[in-house]
Amino acid sequence: MSGPDQHLDWASLVDYWAGDLAPDDELTHDEHLFGCEACSTLSARVAVLTETLRDLIPPLITPERLAKLAARGLTILENPMQPGDRREVVFPKHVDILLHRLGGLDLANATHVSFVMRVESTNEVLSTVLEAPFDRAAGTVLVACQQHFAAFPPDTVAEVHVHAADGGEKLSRYTILHCFEPPT
Amino acid sequence: MNDMSDAELVECIAEAGPRREAAEAALCRRFAPRIRLYGIKHLRDEDLTRDLTQTVLVAVLEAARQRRIDDPQHFDRFVFGTCRNTVARMRQQATRLPLATDEKLAALVAVPPLTVELNGLFACIAKLEERSSLVLMMSFLEERSAAEIATKLSLETGNVRVIRHRALGALRRCLDAGEGTSH
């Protein structure tokens, strides 16, 4: 937007909802949105996406986040796995979170952990997390699989890369063949 | 009433004639969604946003009734100013603001929540390129700025912004086209 009478475009509204505008620009956007119905409508179309994404439960969670989700009353089913495991896991329809507890990791000297979820049959990458949360003492990474992940292919390989201070990297793979119970 | 300008509606309210109630309803319908968006952006809380919407509408309608709006031609700026001041007050107070108990007003400010059906959204995310979905997740799930993401992914900040708005545009089109159907 270069003048007070010009409409805001999609790109600048995405920056606005991402919180990536300078304070003066954000104030200008705020003020314009109150006086322009067309821009307010477009802004709502951006916001419905950004705010839904912001409210999602992330695919990788900390033990503290897991405890909070349980405290909220979500039904959580545990699926402990070890490196090299390959098995089918049923995700019952009454369960909110299927928790893949990826264990057997030596995290004592880890500087950071990165995570990739692939499709086993095609090798397509579904999700990448460059700095995954991990439980150093327990040697685990927690994957919070959710019912709406049924949109993705069910045959998945979780790859956990443990990075050490000396530059070394160790890869552990867990093959999870999801079976989502169909709704009745 | 919906075709009338803000200033005309404000005048109808101030006149206290038979059209006052309809004029108030029209102004509420026009501004409730805008106040709500402002609340979501700056308060990040549904309950507080509902409080904000109701408090601001009560305040601006009272101002209109009492002819306290100096420049009705720029009524939107008056609403915006009231909104900013109310948010500042809400941030200072630990407790929620006391609400007016006007049932008609409460019904008028009831704007549907901003939601997308998650199965559809994820089906559309699954169609994005890997880098696009990564930028979206880092932006909104991890709350990282474009500059931070650029550093992590060895990209220019401007490039991250372009990837981000194109990815959201693709999601919007996918959802609008009803392509977000899970398999």
Please state the rounded mean pLDDT for residues A64-84: 94
Distance of alpha carbon A65 from alpha carbon A58, whole angstroms: 10
Please state the rounded mean pLDDT for residues A107-132: 94
How confident is the prediction for chain A on average, in pLDDT? 93
Which pLDDT does position B66 carry in this prediction?
A: 93
Which pLDDT does position A183 carry in this prediction?
A: 63
ipTM of this complex > 0.85?
yes
**Topology (CATH level 3) of domain A60-180:** Immunoglobulin-like (2.60.40)
Distance of alpha carbon A179 from alpha carbon A168, whole angstroms: 35
Which pLDDT does position A166 carry in this prediction?
A: 87
Q: Do A49 and B115 touch (CB under 8 A)?
A: no
Which pLDDT does position B183 carry in this prediction?
A: 37
- Over residues A31-71, the pLDDT tens digits come to 999 999 999 999 999 999 999 999 889 899 999 989 989 98
A&B contacts, CB < 8 Å: 120
Which of B121, B125, B172 comes nearest A45 by C-beta? Answer: B172
Q: Give mean pLDDT in consecutive 10-residue pieces for chain B, a chain of 183 residues.
A: 90 91 93 95 90 93 94 95 94 68 66 78 89 93 92 96 97 87 42
pTM score of the predicted model: 0.83
Alpha carbon of A179 to those of A64, A88, A90, A122: distances in Å?
27, 7, 5, 18
| Chain B partners within 8 Å of A40 (Cβ) | 33-34, 37
- H or E element at residue A182: none
**Token couple for A60:** 């990788």
Query: Helix B75-92 crosses helix B20-43 at what angle (to 10 degrees)?
Result: 50
Q: Do A30 and B80 touch (CB under 8 A)?
A: yes
Assess whether pLDDT exceeds 90 at residue A8: yes
Please state the rounded mean pLDDT for residues A100-111: 96
> Do B96 and B51 meet the contact criterion of CB atoms below 8 Å apart?
yes
Domain locations in chain A as residue ranges: 10-55, 60-180
Identity of the residue numbered B22? A
Please, what are the domains in chain B?
6-108 (1.10.1740), 118-176 (1.10.10.10)
The per-residue DSSP string of A59-110 comes to SEE-HHHHHHHHHTT--EEEEEE-TT-EEEEEE-TT-SEEEEEE-----TTE
Q: Do B164 and A18 touch (CB under 8 A)?
A: yes
Our separate counts of H helices and E strands in chain A read: 4, 9
Distance of alpha carbon B183 from alpha carbon B175, whole angstroms: 15
Which of A37, A58, A152 comes nearest B141 by C-beta? Answer: A58
| Chain A partners within 8 Å of B135 (Cβ) | none
Which pLDDT does position A21 carry in this prediction?
A: 95
